[in-house]
A = this chain, B = another copy of it.
């Protein structure tokens, strides 16, 4: 006969889940239940607080749509995405490899291809910068023909999906490295921006007196046959929020400055960011991105 106090119920739940056929699902759910119950006991969660939590999660789920993933946003502001990304990074990346960062919700497949040195700013206007450098392997050799996919907010802090109708692709593109692994591409200096603050996660962040901003950054997805896909971002050192990113995406090695007067600048006088990316060899796990197309996460029907 069950007669479970607040401690014993944990074992009872785990016992009831013990027949889970998938051993990994069993392992994950056992740990989830232990931590969930330990949390509730530690804070002595009351029925009213539990109900507020239910209402909050319900609102987060209801805010999800084919163009918005509020649960990923929640994972981001709670630092969970960072934890998962860092662990994944540590397991698949070679010591010399570039650190990874979050994919975020604005990646789009089939961005327009641009030639070396061309600009990805097709509609938006603003101060121009040049991104250039090399894509290298772990031994420091250039990776010929590597693809550099990049996307970013414009000078107003908006992605194309926020500024225009979905048919417009702007501030994103794919450039192919030359035979020595060199890339160069012109763009606008991005502006930092706030996460969406009008939904339940925005309200949650506001109630924590957090600013809700991400520092200015440029996303990269770099790929070449035989190498691990690299999902990362470069962050502008000058941004006032570079030390307090609301979604904890910044790593020291990914912080850059747009400088003028560099001897190797492709366009003299234009501020340039020189950054060499280093790819790791392909891992057996086949990768995995911390992020996704919101439309693919909606339940069917």
Question: Per-residue CB proximity of A254-288 to B under 8 Å, as 1/0?
Answer: 01000000000000000000000000000001001
Query: Does A16 sit at the interface, judged by CB under 8 A?
Result: yes
Query: Which of B55, B78, B83 interacts with A6 by CB under 8 Å?
Result: B83
Query: Does A169 sit at the interface, judged by CB under 8 A?
Result: no
Query: Does A95 sit at the interface, judged by CB under 8 A?
Result: no
**Chain B residues whose C-beta falls within 8 Å of the C-beta of A57 in the assembled complex:** 57, 60-61, 71
Among A109-117, A188-196, A203-211, the stretch that binds chain B is A203-211
Q: Which residue of B has the minimal Cβ distance to A63?
A: B299
Contacts A54-B297, A84-B47; A79 near B13 (Cβ below 8 A) = yes
**Chain B residues whose C-beta falls within 8 Å of the C-beta of A78 in the assembled complex:** 13, 32-33, 36
Q: A250 touching B33 by the CB < 8 A rule?
A: no
Query: Which of B28, B49, B75, B251 interacts with A3 by CB under 8 Å?
Result: B251
Interchain nearest-CB distance for A128 vs B (Å): 27
Interchain nearest-CB distance for A190 vs B (Å): 18
* Chain A, range 35-67, C-beta contacts under 8 Å to B: 35-51, 54-55, 57-64
* Chain A, range 6-34, C-beta contacts under 8 Å to B: 6, 9-10, 12-13, 16-17, 19-22, 24-29, 31-33
| 18 A/B residue pairs, CB under 8 Å, sorted by A | A1-B255, A4-B251, A6-B83, A9-B86, A17-B208, A20-B207, A25-B207, A26-B208, A27-B43, A28-B45, A32-B39, A35-B38, A46-B87, A46-B285, A46-B288, A47-B289, A55-B297, A61-B61
